[in-house]
């Protein structure tokens, strides 16, 4: 190689980045070529001086203190600051708890079937104890006259093996719902029949669920008496008696 | 827990201390604006401290630190990373040959220490005349002493590109120094 060829490797040679073989070749040439040896040495010195002039600057103490201060500040416990992001869990969590509680309460608490049954049983008991009387004649809550079930109310006669007789009707309120209390005598046993409009029963979720579960029919045992509920599309008929009211209710179902 | 934090901090500062001037100079020479350079340096050191658990003892701490500094510089100057990928083609040998023929440069070679004493602060101006990419590569290699491979990894460019940037930056610096020598009348007497 000529001197010029060796000098092309000046930069990687000064940087000690040449492979061992090339490096040895150059070293060998420098040992015999005074001009190249001098050139390489001078270039090396220029580089050294250049680097030296860029290495003069030192980090000011103030800057170093700032760096240390930031490291210390990062490690020390920081005062809790209010962050907008915290609002999300702070609002969402209690709201979610309240929603769950509301669902639970709405599903459980409001007028369950038992409380409806108790209210009906109470009304039936008052009739039996003569606290209330339902005489001959039919009185309906406003708007009830037009209902199919009222128009085709079973009258006196034999229904299967049962002798049924309509005593009378009266409008009343059961759990704040206006309904018709119709009294029947079935085989000489008093039968209270309550007619409730379905549209008024939105608050009676448990009763509705019970009817849905029984595909429009539900039975609740109340000790000596029994409550049978039938869903007849526009109305729900609740029959309460100690007697078997199957035949009577079948008559309603035919409507 | 508090003791662990304290030991960890102490260890980090002990490792950081010997490199504080290098880091400072590198930021100052690459960014130049003093406030921005200090911000970058502080952010980079704090970021490194936050990630100190990832540092593997026994490996090159200086190189590990410089990664954070370079990444912060890239965050500040998005264009720089892009520019690093591009190398302006040049005939490397032409630059050497041209400099060899340059009388003023030959005078510098004759007596470098005297020349550098005289030019003093103008050396910084020469560095400023390089592009950011050339300056960065030159500082990482010549001043900080990183290998071509390390620089290639820092800057995510091929080793060949590192060499080209480096060669070009040295050539430019040589020409600038020759220019100063001429202006200063620092020319060797004709034999």
Contact between residue A60 and residue B37 where contact means Cβ atoms under 8 Å apart: no
To the question of domain A113-253 being in CATH 2.60.40, the answer is no
CB-neighbour burial class of residue A56 (10 A; exposed 0-12, middle 13-18, buried 19+):
exposed
| pLDDT for A79 beyond 70 | no
The CATH class that applies to domain A1-77 reads: mainly alpha
Q: Tens digit of pLDDT for each residue in A93-108?
A: 888 888 888 877 765 5
Tokens of B19: 């490199």
Q: How far apart are CA A45 and CA A221, in angstroms?
A: 110
Q: What is the pLDDT of residue A255?
A: 65
Instruction: Answer whether B13 sits within 8 Å of A11, measured CB to CB.
Output: no
pTM: 0.57
CB contact under 8 A, B20 and A12: no
Give the one of A11, A48, A59 whose C-beta lies nearest to B166's C-beta. A11
Query: From the CA of A64, how many Å to the nearest CA of chain B?
Result: 8
Residue spans per domain, chain A: 1-77, 113-253
Instruction: For the beta carbon of residue B170, count every other beta carbon within 10 angstroms.
Output: 27
Q: How far is B58 from chain A (nearest CA, A)?
A: 23
Per DSSP, the residues of A92-134 read HHHHHHHHHHHHHHHHHSTT-HHHHHHHHHHHHHHHHTTSS--
Q: What's the alpha-carbon Rg for chain A, to the nearest Å? A: 50
A204 close to A111: Cβ distance less than 8 angstroms: yes
**Structure-model confidence comparison of residues A58 and A84, the more confident one:** A58
pLDDT over 90 for what percent of chain A?
14
Q: Distances in Å between the alpha carbon of B9 and those of A26, A70, A76, A202, B52?
A: 47, 12, 11, 68, 9
Q: Average pLDDT of A36-42? A: 89
Chain region(s) in chain B for CATH 1.10.1740.10: 2-76
pLDDT at A225: 83
What band does A109 get if pLDDT is binned at 50, 70 and 90? very low
ipTM: 0.83
CA dihedral sign, ordered B175, B181, B185, B190: negative
Which CATH number is B2-76 given? 1.10.1740.10
Q: Where in chain B is the domain with CATH 1.10.10.10?
A: 92-184
A-B contacts at Cβ under 8 angstroms = 99
Assign A129 a pLDDT band (cuts: 50, 70, 90). Answer: confident
Whether residue B42 and residue A67 make contact (CB cut-off 8 A), yes or no, is: yes
Tally the residues of chain A: 255
Counting every residue written for chain B, the total comes to 191
List B116's β-bridge partners, or say none.
Answer: none
Tell me what pLDDT residue A68 has.
92
Q: What's the distance, CA B74 to chain centroid?
A: 14
User: With an 8 Å Cβ cutoff, is B65 touching chain A?
Assistant: no
Q: For residue A14, is pLDDT > 60?
A: yes
- pLDDT at residue A7 greater than cutoff 80: yes
Which pLDDT value is given to residue A253? Answer: 74
**Per residue of chain B (191 residues), what is the pLDDT tens digit?**
555 778 888 999 999 999 999 999 999 988 878 888 899 999 999 999 999 999 998 899 999 999 999 999 888 777 777 777 666 655 555 666 666 667 778 888 888 888 888 887 788 888 888 888 889 999 999 999 999 999 999 998 999 899 888 888 888 888 888 888 888 877 765 54
CB count in 10 Å sphere of residue B71:
17
Rounded mean pLDDT, A104-119: 67
* pLDDT tens readout for residues A165-218: 888 898 888 888 889 999 988 887 889 999 998 888 888 888 888 888 888 888
CATH number of the domain at B92-184, out of 2.102.10.10, 1.10.10.10, 1.25.40.20, 1.10.3720.10?
Answer: 1.10.10.10
Provide the pLDDT for residue B99: 66
Task: Identify the weakest region by mean pLDDT among A17-26, A225-234, B72-81.
Answer: B72-81
How much helix, strand and coil, in percent to the nearest 5, is found in chain B? 80, 0, 20
Q: Is B116 in the A-facing interface, judged by CB distances under 8 Å?
A: yes
Please answer yes or no on whether B49 and A74 come within 8 Å at the CB atom.
yes
């Amino acid at each position: 190689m000529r001197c010029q060829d060796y000098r092309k490797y000046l930069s990687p040679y000064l940087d000690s980045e040449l492979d061992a073989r090339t490096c040895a070749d150059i070293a060998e040439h420098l040992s015999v070529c005074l001009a190249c040896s001098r050139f390489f040495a001078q270039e090396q010195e220029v580089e050294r001086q250049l680097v030296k002039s860029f290495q003069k600057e030192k980090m000011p103490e103030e800057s170093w203190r700032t760096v240390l201060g930031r490291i210390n500040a990062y490690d020390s416990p920081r005062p809790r600051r209010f962050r907008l992001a915290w609002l999300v869990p702070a609002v969402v969590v209690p709201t979610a708890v309240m929603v769950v509680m509301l669902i639970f309460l709405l599903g459980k608490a409001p007028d369950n079937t038992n409380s409806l049954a108790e209210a009906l049983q109470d009304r039936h008991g008052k009739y039996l104890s003569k606290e209330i009387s339902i005489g001959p004649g039919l009185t309906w809550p406003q708007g009830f006259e037009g209902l199919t079930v009222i128009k085709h109310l079973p009258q006196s006669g034999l229904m299967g093996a049962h002798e049924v007789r309509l005593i009378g009707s009266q409008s009343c309120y059961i759990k704040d719902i206006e309904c018709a209390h119709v009294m029947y005598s079935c085989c000489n046993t008093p039968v209270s029949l309550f007619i409730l409009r379905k549209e008024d029963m939105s608050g009676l979720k448990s009763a509705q669920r019970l009817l849905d579960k029984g595909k429009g029919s539900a039975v609740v045992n109340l000790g000596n008496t029994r409550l049978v509920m039938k869903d007849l599309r526009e109305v729900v008929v609740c029959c309460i008696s100690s007697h078997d009211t199957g035949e009577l209710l079948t008559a309603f179902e035919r409507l | 827990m508090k003791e662990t934090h304290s030991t960890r901090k102490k260890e980090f500062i002990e490792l950081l201390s010997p490199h504080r001037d290098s880091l400072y100079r590198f930021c100052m020479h690459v960014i130049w604006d003093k406030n921005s350079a200090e911000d970058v340096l502080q952010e980079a050191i704090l970021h490194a401290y936050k990630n100190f658990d990832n540092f593997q003892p026994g490996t090159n701490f200086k190189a590990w630190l410089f990664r954070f500094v370079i990444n912060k510089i890239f965050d500040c100057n998005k264009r720089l990373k892009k520019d690093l990928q591009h190398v302006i083609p040049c005939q490397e040998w032409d630059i050497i040959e041209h400099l060899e023929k340059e009388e003023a440069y030959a005078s510098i070679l004759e007596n470098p220490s005297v020349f550098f004493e005289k030019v003093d602060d103008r050396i910084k101006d020469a560095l400023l005349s390089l592009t950011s990419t050339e300056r960065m590569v030159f500082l990482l290699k010549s001043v900080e002493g990183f290998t071509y491979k390390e620089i290639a990894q820092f800057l995510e460019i091929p080793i060949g590109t590192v060499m080209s940037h480096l060669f070009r930056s040295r050539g430019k610096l040589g020409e600038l120094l020759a220019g100063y020598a001429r202006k200063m009348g620092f020319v060797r007497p004709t034999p």
